[in-house]
Amino acid sequence: MSNSECSLTCEALLREAAGRIGGESPRLDAELLLSHITGLTRTSFRAWPERDVPVEQAERFFELVGERASGQPVAYLLGEQEFWSLPLKVSPSTLIPRPGTECVVEAALSLELPARASVLDLGTGTGAIALALASEQPGWQVMASDRVEDAVALARENSQSLGLPITVVKSHWFDQIPAGTFDLLISNPPYIPASDRHLREGDVRFEPESALVAGDDGLDDIRLLVTEGLNWLNPNGWMLLEHGYDQGSAVRDLFAKAGWRNMETRKDYGGNDRMTLARKPAS
């Protein structure tokens, strides 16, 4: 679009951009990107569609639109994603927090736990689960771990900018977790089978494979967490794991074989199985 042909109003830019972006939510994507570049709110585009956008901003906007059109997730272009109403910084080293994972947070908050519960979020990425829990339960001692250095740095940055104190440790699962026991172990681990077609479609193509893929059946990391988790929990402590919509019965079986009790699979807002929780026996 050359500047001489077209007026650079918000509405004209959004319409042109949505046409180029395509996909599931082109208008929303365009609004989020234009808001990011101009500092204007999305509602202001509706209230004042004819407002002019400076040429230099329009050019930067269309650079982002081009990247979005080639598949880059909006969250990576904005460097931010909202989760549990918290604005989290994201980077291509971390999974983009998903609404489905908010159900996992909700389930954790529904558990019978001590007022000063000690909690570990394994494979925290941006820190999403740990920070959401810290925001709801200021009395809890929340620790978060990730094996990826950039994720550790990002989770710490999010903790600081949100003023939500959590302890972030660089660790591959339990490897570097300081000795001690927790009341709740929670994780959104990788759980997609390596051959899944889903990995070659949409936003996941741009996300780190290490956060998504877990061996041939998608259960490699869950097997490890279920087996080792008992050693890191107080009696009656809980483990809560996110998993794929079709993995509920396999995950319950893994828990059962390892000696856990009270296995329960719960659904996400879309009505699909999304997580399984289990309890360590009292003795």
Could you list the residues known to form a binding site for substrate, using ranges: 188-191
Binding flag, residue 212, ligand GLN (CB under 6 A): yes
The owner of tokens 């009341």 is: 183
Using the rule CB under 6 A, which residue among 98, 147, 170, 172 binds ligand GLN? 98
Q: Helix H segments across the chain?
A: 10-21, 26-38, 42-47, 55-69, 74-78, 99-109, 128-136, 149-162, 220-229, 248-258
Binding flag, residue 127, ligand GLN (CB under 6 A): no
Shortest Å distance, C-beta 196 to ligand GLN: 9
Give the residue with the Cβ less far from ligand GLN, 94 or 158: 94
Using the rule CB under 6 A, which residue among 93, 145, 159, 188 binds ligand GLN? 188
Binding flag, residue 75, ligand GLN (CB under 6 A): no
Inter-CA distances, 60 with 10, 194, 213, Å: 14, 37, 34
Burial class (CB in 10 A: 0-12, 13-18, 19+), 271: exposed
Binding flag, residue 260, ligand GLN (CB under 6 A): no
CA 88 to chain centre: 9
Report which of 89, 81, 159, 91 is spatially closest to residue 121, judged by C-alpha positions. Answer: 159
Using the rule CB under 6 A, which residue among 190, 193, 229, 248 binds ligand GLN? 190
Give the residue with the Cβ less far from ligand GLN, 153 or 199: 199
- Residues found near ligand GLN in the complex (CB under 6 A): 98, 100, 188, 190-192, 204, 212
